[in-house]
Amino acid sequence: MAVMIETRNLTYTYPAPEGETNPPALRDVSVQIEKGSFTVVLGHNGSGKSTFAKHLNAVLLPCGGAVYVDGMDTRDEKLLLEIRRRTGMVFQNPDNQIVANVVEEDVAFGPENLGVPTEEIRRRVDDALAAVGMEKFAHHAPHLLSGGQKQRIAIARVFLKNPPILILDEATSALDNESEILVGQSLEKLAHGRTTL
């Protein structure tokens, strides 16, 4: 199996105010994650899960060691766009993930959708909304939705982008059980290489 993500002795320390030093948030983390696999990172609050996730799409860069995304070193600036194209990330807080005034526009938002024919976008948006059980809300205003519904919209957006690497940082913690199961089933379909959900 191909390795999609590899970290080698990844170490990261957040910058501290003058005269202070933070302990490393990540120290010597070495992992290999295979294509097509689901990998779950478990740990108590503050153990470094979000810090780790942010290294996988080059939001954070290693202080020591290295991160390779599909063989690409995240420290190489020239590769940044290519790395971002390959990754989709959903965060825990849905409020800072909304970008448009109408749900369906929000889901379709993304530079990778420029140039895709309108009908194709329409189909993909419908598919992505159905995958998270939000098809009835296509014409609603995202900021009027509940936290869990907003989160489902953020998840629909990465479904539509359909990147080879999905990074979910506690993305379902705002969802009720039923929605969580629905999202889990959709993820499974994506991981098994279905182009439609």
Q: Does 50 contact Mg ion by CB under 5 A?
A: yes
* The dihedral formed by the CA atoms of 20, 21, 23 and 25, expressed in degrees to the nearest 10: 100
Minimum distance, C-beta of residue 193 to ligand ADP, in the bound complex (Å):
29
| Tokens coding 29 | 């983390």
Nearest-5° Cα angle at 89, 111 to 142: 70
| Among 51, 149, 151, 179, interactor with ligand ADP by CB under 6 A | 51
Residue 104 · residue 142 · CB < 8 Å: no
Q: Among ligand ADP, Mg ion, none, what binds residue 133 when CB lies within 5 to 8 Å by partner kind? A: none
Minimum distance, C-beta of residue 51 to ligand ADP, in the bound complex (Å):
3
Q: Does 21 contact ligand ADP by CB under 6 A?
A: no
β-bridge mates for residue 3, sequence order: 34
Q: Does 14 contact ligand ADP by CB under 6 A?
A: yes
Q: Among ligand ADP, Mg ion, none, what binds residue 48 when CB lies within 5 to 8 Å by partner kind? A: ligand ADP
Q: Among ligand ADP, Mg ion, none, what binds residue 38 when CB lies within 5 to 8 Å by partner kind? A: none
Q: Does 49 contact ligand ADP by CB under 6 A?
A: yes
Q: Which is nearer to ligand ADP, 14 or 38 (CB)?
A: 14
Q: Does 45 contact ligand ADP by CB under 6 A?
A: yes
Instruction: Specify the pairing of strand 3-12 against strand 64-69.
Output: antiparallel
- Hey, is 80 helix, strand or coil? helix
How far apart, in whole angstroms, are the C-alpha atoms of residue 47 and residue 72? Answer: 26
128 closest CA partner among 50, 169, 186: 186
Site for ligand ADP, rule CB under 6 A: 14, 22, 25, 43, 45-51
Site for Mg ion, rule CB under 5 A: 49-50
